[in-house]
Amino acid sequence: MGSAVSRLTLAVALAALVITPVSARQLPTTGGWEIYEDDPFCYMWSDFEGPGDTELSLALNIDGRVMLQLRNTDWSVKDGESYKLAADMKDLSIVGEATGSKASAYPYKKGLMGTVSVPGFLAAFAKSPNIHFYLDSTDSKEFDAKNAIVLDKLKLGGSGVAIAAVQRCTAELKRKADAAARAKAEYEARWRTIPKDPFAKPEAPKK
């Protein structure tokens, strides 16, 4: 595997981070990747030629979290079940657990998704010419590289400019979210000394 190995947990993704183009606003395609904005995150998506037409999505949340989603129409992944995976790139290899899921909009496309918290992951993804995914189905608690099987080998052409587009999109979402939070705080501070209903009687203290 890659020259640097890091451990991670691909945890169950939050419902708000489920990646589906149905609810998202599509931005210009960049580097061969489709780019979407879907508050509170932006993401890049591509499908790949091969058995089951594997799809790969990478999302960046405004709080900095990164999520990966890998789907294939041929896979018999069980929804909610944990799987031991490894992802190998040019300068970084990661191992951990991913969670089985199916897209609500496309239930026939089953796959794996979760958050990635490995430092340098985005930079490695942007520079690597490809990414290889491996599955360990043994009973070993640790990832058994010797007995792992290949899930898929995907080319990451254009991923550098696509990630840059996702980062710009997410930065704009964060700017808007921060501005909205400041406006709300200013509004609440402005009217804090005026009661909502000055005629309401205060509740009696509980005995």
Least confident range from 6-15, 144-153, 156-165: namely 6-15
Domain containing residue 22: 5-190
Tell me: pLDDT of 4 over 70.
Answer: no
Instruction: Report how far apart, in Å, the C-alpha atoms of 190 and of each of 97, 177, 184 are.
Output: 48, 20, 10
- pLDDT tens by residue, 76-121: 999 889 999 999 999 999 988 889 987 655 667 789 988 898 889 9
Q: Can you give the pTM of this predicted structure?
A: 0.80
195 within a domain of the structure (yes/no)? no
The pLDDT tens digits for 30-45 are 999 999 999 889 999 9
Position 172 in a domain = yes
Domain membership of residue 40 (yes or no) is yes
Alpha helices in the chain (DSSP H): 121-127, 159-190
Q: What CA–CA distances, in Å, run from 100 to 1, 11, 110, 190?
A: 24, 10, 7, 47
Residue 206 lies in a domain: no
What mean pLDDT comes out for the span 182-187?
Answer: 92
Note whether residue 142 is domain-resident: yes
Is 163 contained in some domain?
yes
Query: Coil, helix or strand for 155?
Result: strand
Q: How far apart are CA 155 and CA 132, in angstroms?
A: 9
Q: What is the pLDDT of residue 105?
A: 58
In a domain? residue 198 = no
- Kindly state whether residue 100 falls inside one of the protein's structural domains: yes
CATH number at residue 89: 2.60.40.1880
Distance CA 115, CA 101 (A): 13
Overall number of domains in the chain? 1
For residue 27, give the 3-state DSSP assignment: strand
Confidence category of residue 202, pLDDT binned at 50, 70, 90: confident
Is residue 107 classed as helix, strand or coil in its secondary structure?
coil
